[in-house]
Amino acid sequence: MFDDRTDAGDRLATELERRDFEADVVLGIPRGALPVARPVADALDADLDVVVARKMGAPGNPELAIGAVASDGSVWYNDDLVDRLGVDDAYLEEIREEEAENAAAKADRYHDSPGLPDLADKRVVIVDDGVATGATATACLRQVQDSDAEYVALAVPVGSPRSVAELADEADEVIALETPDHFRAVGQFYRTFGQVTDEEAIEYLEGR
């Protein structure tokens, strides 16, 4: 579907321009979203920055996300999964604190000052390279919604139909170019979907 993240960003930017979408700030979710977010920010003539969240892994299975937490502590739990696995409150608090610290440390690598830029009364669009569970996007949206932004949208090239629908409750608007029924993972819709390093992400952030 997409050659790579830059191609996805170009096509997402074209769709937002077609909609006459306006934004003051574009926030990419590091690291993979920065190559997507750069063309979007350029097309909208908006500032590009980052919003950071970390997934919280299940006990004994760190790859299974039971939720996500943003760098400011904004959190989302997959309540159904938490209940099904019988995860106790002590573990939830421990993993929340640990991953919130990791998210804050990651955010510090991209900023001279901690936290988000001033978003008060601004139109903000959060960009990711795709949405699978929606955990990370939800935590990021909740952090931005608490920033007094005027309008908060989420824009992605591709996403799970269920997750995209659920995210509509977290954002003022959700734009997804594709929501295929056969969705299994974000990477299946990219011909090239390699890891993006911190150094590469920072170069996109700085416009290089």
* Mean pLDDT on 145-152: 95
For residue 36, which of 51, 26, 24 has the smallest C-alpha distance?
Answer: 26
Distance CA 71, CA 143 (A): 8
Confidence at residue 208, expressed as pLDDT on a 0 to 100 scale: 59
Q: What is the pLDDT of residues 49-79, one digit of tens each?
A: 999 999 999 999 988 889 999 988 889 999 9
Confidence of residue 107 (pLDDT cuts 50, 70, 90): confident
Residue type at position 73 = G
Confidence of residue 206 (pLDDT cuts 50, 70, 90): confident
Confidence at residue 190, expressed as pLDDT on a 0 to 100 scale: 98
Structural domains of the chain in order of their starting residue, each with its CATH number: 5-52+111-205 (3.40.50.2020), 54-108 (3.30.1310.20)
Which region, left, alpha or beta, applies to residue 160 given φ > 0 means left and ψ of -120 to 50 means alpha? beta
